[in-house]
A and B are shown apart, each in its own frame.
Chain A
Amino acid sequence: MDTYPQQLYTMRRAFEAICLGERPWTPLGNFMNAWWGYGKEQREELVKDPLPHDYPEQYHHWAAFCAASADWFATTYDVLRPEWVDDPTYVLPDPWYFEKPKSLWPRLRKETLPEFSRRNIFCGDRVYANKWEYPLGRMQSKYRDAWDLTVTPQQWHGRMQQERERSWSTHPDACSQTDATQEQEQWWQEQEQRLQAIASQRRKHRVAPNHMHLGEEQVTPVSSSSQEG
């Protein structure tokens, strides 16, 4: 049975911890534990509270990152999207590449999800990759199909406000498009059918423990397990 700590580790709490000088990924990791772990039944609560307005200027880019994150979490997991994330304050005046070298910028621009890039944050699409939802692989975004880097973050913000007026819940299917081509989509559907068949066959013929032995597997041990040196 799940047990809940007295206080949920909300995005606001994570940001407050960042402003107190904690390494950002520690509080953000705590937030992830809450989102995917013990607090997953209370997700709306986790992003509902706006960030505090008075914080040291040096943390402004992390404020924008927390707003982008709350936007991504709420949108991706169909949780009520809090209005505070649309505050234009959270659109950074200059692009932020997480202090990564310039050579990585094009890749980051390409991979970053719109919830982040529209706020001028270019962090790639693995910042919230996690072991709870491994099969997602890279982070997904419902805005992925609307990805357009020729649009400035400010323009994105305008669009976002328009989008906000639409209800995600009334058109869930319309928002789940990927950027895959039709052909790829068809290929994937076929694979998925096969995978489903394999999974169901395995469920039916699930072997008893200790029945399978390594020696019976078609495994090729390529080299001994010991290391040189």
Chain B
Amino acid sequence: MNAEQIVRFFTTVGDILEEVGAKEPYKILLIGGGYMITQVGNRAATKDIDCVFTSATLTSPEHLLFARAVAIALEDLSQEFPCEFTDSFGDHLQSVTRLPAGRLWLKAGMLEVSVPDDRYILALKLEAGREKDLDDIRALFPRVGISTRKEAQKLIAEFYHPWVRRGRSKQLRTSLDTVFRALTQEGNS
């Protein structure tokens, strides 16, 4: 999905929520590839849209309504372009990180999409340490003003709760090894 298609998706969901009579706007925080495309602009497309739900609990009627609106929007729009939406990590992130409030980026019908700042997204990507995130990390480093491993560790500590960092210290080390090894190799080549 490209930036325009992401906006189309959110607009469709917002319209459906309005049409079905939602009383309050449903609020979400955009993360992942959707964030990189619409906020950073370092790549053209993403396979799916990731977000965190910030306005209602996941068992609330509002969330169920939102989930159904998403399903209808996906059915509708997938006729035009491949689209996927996932919340696989949303709840997880609420538990393990200090979730920023974000700033409102898009309002469509009864949907409000906020975005965190680059620092939070970079912290998530550093913690994950996936090779597929390297391009995003490369794009975010200068925007956040980070270049060393120490600064990266500090950034992770800013958002991840101490108990998470303690429990995952080995994984965090591996993640940062992966990231900085790749970046160093690039610098040398």
Contact = CB atoms under 8 A, between A and B. Distances in A.
A2 B72 CA distance: 25
Given A137-B58, A199-B75, A226 B39 contact: yes
B79 interface: yes
Contacts of A184: 61
Contacts of A228: 117
Nearest to A209: B80
B106 A227 contact: no
Interface stretch (B81-89, B127-135, B147-155, B178-186): B81-89
B20 A223 contact: no
Contact of A135 (B41, B71, B81, B95): B71
Given A188-B61, A227-B118, A217 B108 contact: yes
B48 A131 contact: yes
A188 B143 CA distance: 45
B11 A187 contact: no
Interface in A194-229: 194-195, 198-199, 202-203, 206, 209, 212, 214, 217-223, 225-229
A223 B103 contact: yes
Given A126-B91, A227-B117, A134 B39 contact: no
A41 interface: no
Chain A interface size, under 10 / 10 to 19 / 20 to 34 / 35 or more: 35 or more
B29 interface: no
Interface in B59-115: 59, 61, 63-65, 67-72, 75-76, 79-81, 84-88, 91-92, 95, 103-109
A188 B65 CA distance: 9
Contacts of B45: none
Interface of A: 23, 99-101, 104, 124, 126, 129-131, 134-138, 184, 187-188, 191-192, 194-195, 198-199, 202-203, 206, 209, 212, 214, 217-223, 225-229
